[in-house]
Chains A and B, each alone.
Chain A
């Protein structure tokens, strides 16, 4: 990080500090975070794990939160996605809870609080690469604290929408979710990131998840910010024994999006599946770093990534799996594939394995290439025009991830967005 940037963050923090709610994060923790950030600096493209992220626009953002009491008109009048049956909705605008855009209902087994009212709070960021999380910790304005208890005979479900409405020059947005899922509980979470009126916002979110023994969580994240937005995100999850966590990440929007995911498999037989799809065009950059740390025996990881880069876009997925000394019986599979859909597009898919024990099963596959000529010719030979055939194959490529989405309405919404992204004129909707 340039020292100018570091100085600016500190200055902005100093002038904003009095307005930052201590109930969300105490002033002491904020100061500690800021200090750690001053020492470590924000990542730069010289960092090995950050070279595919587009960090340049950070020079121009204002780091202090956009402060407003009520959501801007653009946010209040925007069309949110249709609600999904069974999911209560909580909406935050520029990092602040907006009850008028929410449709919350009390559901047995789930307690949702604004972080401003929550008595519990997650530990400070401890992930190996938590620099953007530190930035969030220093400036966070609000967020959702979610406690899920066991006992409900069916899955408890929740949708959290984060809307960004102000431009980066006016102030930042710091979404935050702290989620604790009790032993044996089952939980479904949809997390969306949207822009109001295509604002060029700076969004820097933190999601912190703890999954108890034998608990099961399905977590859908959909990033559909406007094409000028900057999105940085740090997700940390810790899984206890026999816990099951399914993470689905769909990246469609933003000019520059970077997701840093850190999953600790801390209990035996913990089981994580991470399924990510990314479609980028024009000058977009989508970067992912997903670390899974096997600390104990017999835990399971599956990582699937499908990314398409068109135009001058860059798409990166770095999937790192660490198998510690005691983690014998580890079973991990990685399938990372990138599709180049333009001569100036870039794809970087990287499986990384660090294994410190024997008796493990770790398979990985990574490919980056163009559309398969044989498949393309097959479709052409049946009379499909080239454009349709290419879009159909891109669609099929993403289906490896999208078809896994178990909420039919959400899958349909995502498929419609993808169809739109690939080209709105095509009849891909018929596929759905």
Chain B
């Protein structure tokens, strides 16, 4: 489903990703771990098409299409979703409008008519319940005045409504207390399916107790230094990133 091949990416002339290669199949959950500054968030942003990253070489193929040639909005409509580490506040644009505009953009792409207003509200309310969000949230500005935990829950809510093919969740666990983490993980788990793929970018093993990955990759200095199954995350927890960084050096 997703094939990243020898990807080199620079920011302000400084190389961050240095030949990253990764292949992900439909239905899998991959965790990308790594120390600060290893390039985890860069990878997440490059997949979503954020400006400011210079792709110096390599390729990314998503369902047979050249992902890097697509504009951010095209990627979203093709089913790529980025859950932001720091979701931005947009006062004046309310949540329900954004959700509706987003869902209709994807439907238009697929040649479907706009979503029925009642059906849509029903769907959103159902997902909000799952995310333990109050009704008043709908009419509030996007992330406006939300706590860190509320922002992350809102990211997952958007994901649940949009049902992407590939969800890239950038440190969705950071800043969450244990209850919020469980809610977020539960949201992700309900969406797991043989057609859907998750890339979980995380610094800590903790998230993986609740969302059990099929594969764990450790990113060190812009490259995957080690891959394994869930036990790799547990070993990392015990031995620290120095263990892998030392090996990769």
Contact = CB atoms under 8 A, between A and B. Distances in A.
Interface of A: 372-375, 377-386, 388-389, 392-393, 395-400, 403, 427, 430-431
13 contacts: A377-B51, A378-B90, A378-B142, A380-B76, A381-B75, A381-B82, A382-B98, A383-B101, A384-B102, A392-B93, A395-B93, A396-B92, A431-B97
Contacts of B100: 430
Contacts of A393: 90, 93
A378 B84 contact: yes
Contact of B48 (A372, A381, A385): A381
B92 A400 contact: yes
B50 interface: yes
A377 B50 contact: yes
A381 B49 contact: yes
A24 to B, nearest CB: 43
Nearest to A373: B51
Given A392-B93, A396-B91, A384 B101 contact: yes
Contacts of A398: 92
A111 to B, nearest CB: 40
A381 B93 contact: no
Contacts of B72: 377, 380-381
B88 A375 contact: yes
Contacts of B158: 382
Interface string B74-92: 0111000110100110111
A398 B92 CA distance: 8
Interface of B: 48-51, 71-73, 75-77, 81-82, 84, 87-88, 90-94, 97-98, 100-102, 105-106, 109, 141-142, 158, 162
* 10 shortest interchain CB distances as A-B pairs: A396-B92, A399-B92, A383-B105, A383-B76, A382-B102, A380-B72, A380-B73, A374-B88, A396-B93, A383-B77
A82 B124 CA distance: 35
A383 B92 contact: no
B89 to A, nearest CB: 8
A373 B50 CA distance: 10
A121 B101 CA distance: 54
A384 B105 contact: yes
A392 B51 CA distance: 20
A384 B105 CA distance: 6
B98 A379 contact: yes
B76 A395 contact: no
A383 B71 contact: no
A51 B102 CA distance: 43
A381 B72 CA distance: 6
B199 to A, nearest CB: 15
A324 B223 CA distance: 65
Nearest to B142: A378
B51 A383 contact: no
Contacts of A399: 91-92
Scoring B76, B87, B88, B93 by chain A CB atoms within 10 A of each residue's CB, the highest score goes to B93
Contacts of A389: 73
Contacts of A385: 73, 105
B95 to A, nearest CB: 11
Contacts of B49: 380-381
A388 B76 CA distance: 15
A396 B48 CA distance: 24
Contacts of B76: 380-383
